[in-house]
A = this chain, B = another copy of it.
Amino acid sequence: MASHKPARKSTIYDIARATGSSTSTVSMVLNGTWTRYRIKEETAQRVLESARKLGYNVNLKARGLRLSRSGLAGMVLPHYRNRFFAGLAQTFEDQARNRGLCPIVVGTQRDPAVEISVTETLLAQRVELLFIAGVRNPAPLNERCAAAGVPSINLDLPGDGAPSVVSDNRGGARAITDVLLDKLLAQGKSPHELVLLGGIPGEYATDSRIAGFRDAFAARGIEPAADAVDSCGYNAAAARRALAARQAALGRLPAGLLMNSITAFEGLVQFTSTLPAEAWRSLVVGCFDWDPFAAHLSFDVTMLRQDVEAIIAEAFALTDAYDPAGRSVVVVPTRFGAIFEEAEQTREFDR
């Protein structure tokens, strides 16, 4: 029974010929609109069966061409290597499918050239909407989408080129800083020991987090140390270097550390792994973003989690009532919790 016809897929013409009916009849039956056109039940059955027998599969390109609707939903992100982006991709796929769209997500490696070319390809595929996450500068992408009349939404960073949905970085930073300050005080340490490490100066998320960090101090009528904020970049190596510098200057590590990304946190872990336990045992640590294993390291670490479900849901909502001229910014709360709570959540995620 091996069908030896891999060359050409069967079309509605084939099945029209096979059933002795016309293409429009076949089309109607296949689209379920046949009841409205009172096509004979029997004809419909014949068509359906023939379609199955011929291994028919709609050509969405042709349909899309005709209907000028592709049924595609696009998303670009830098990579899948942290919980935030992996979660965004996952959730996007689920929600897109629920809406009858075919999700197509592409990683760009934070390379602006790739970002552009991917966007253009997606546009050329006629995606019906595009979500953009983790891009340094979304403006050129938004612009191309606008020119093509395709709604684009920026995730996790606001842009002037399109509506965006962002997490509440400032509020989250405020909350986690509060926790760390309390822990520090409980240890009898000075609030001035608390340091915010990592991120990029001028970048939206970093700036918001710095503001939240300061908010927490201000609420207590105090100020962070003059050198409390070091936006040394997001990666592990940079964090290691920054920590080494502090250690050299201070003769030890600061008592409290708020790391601006899971990769910066990784740098901390790498750095301390070269040190005796006494050097870091009682550190008070916080981190933006999270990782299931990080919860089990020998640190007292509080991790912040972004609500990817809410972010994607808001983004879809924005496309539903898309205003090409609108520059709205929707803010979604961040959540944080004890490390074991986070670990629990991981577990259920992976059945």
Contacts and interface: CB of A to CB of B under 8 A. Distances in A.
Number of copies: 2
Contacts of A70: 61
Interface residues of A, number: 72
Interface string A81-124: 10101100110011001000011111101000010000011111
Given A102-B121, A297-B293, A59 B65 contact: yes
B86 A90 contact: no
B263 A350 contact: yes
A331 interface: no
A6 B146 contact: yes
A60 B297 contact: no
Contact of A350 (B235, B291, B294): B235
A126 B60 contact: yes
A147 interface: yes
Contact of A9 (B80, B149, B297, B343): B149
Contacts of A65: 59, 61-62, 65
Given A59-B65, A124-B58, A149 B324 contact: no
Interface stretch (A134-142, A171-179, A266-274): A266-274
Contacts of A273: 296
A62 B64 CA distance: 9
B126 A61 contact: yes
A7 B97 CA distance: 25
Given A6-B146, A107-B90, A297-B297, A102 B120 contact: no
A298 interface: yes
Contact of A106 (B64, B86, B104, B237): B104
A146 B9 CA distance: 11
B147 A55 contact: yes
A102 B147 CA distance: 21
Contacts of A103: 106
A349 interface: yes
A148 B105 contact: no
A294 B60 CA distance: 44
A325 interface: yes
A31 interface: no
Contacts of A220: none
A38 interface: no
B293 A269 contact: yes
Contacts of A186: none
A294 B81 CA distance: 14
Interface string A266-295: 100110010000000000000000011110
Contacts of A125: 60-61, 72, 102
A36 interface: no
Nearest to A5: B149
Contacts of A351: 235
B6 A324 contact: yes
Contacts of A102: 106, 121-122, 125
A106 B93 contact: yes
Nearest to A150: B6
Given A61-B125, A80-B80, 10 more contacts: A3-B147, A6-B324, A8-B149, A57-B123, A59-B126, A60-B124, A61-B65, A79-B90, A236-B350, A291-B293
Q: What 3 A-B pairs come out closest when comparing CB atoms?
A: A6-B149, A293-B293, A55-B147
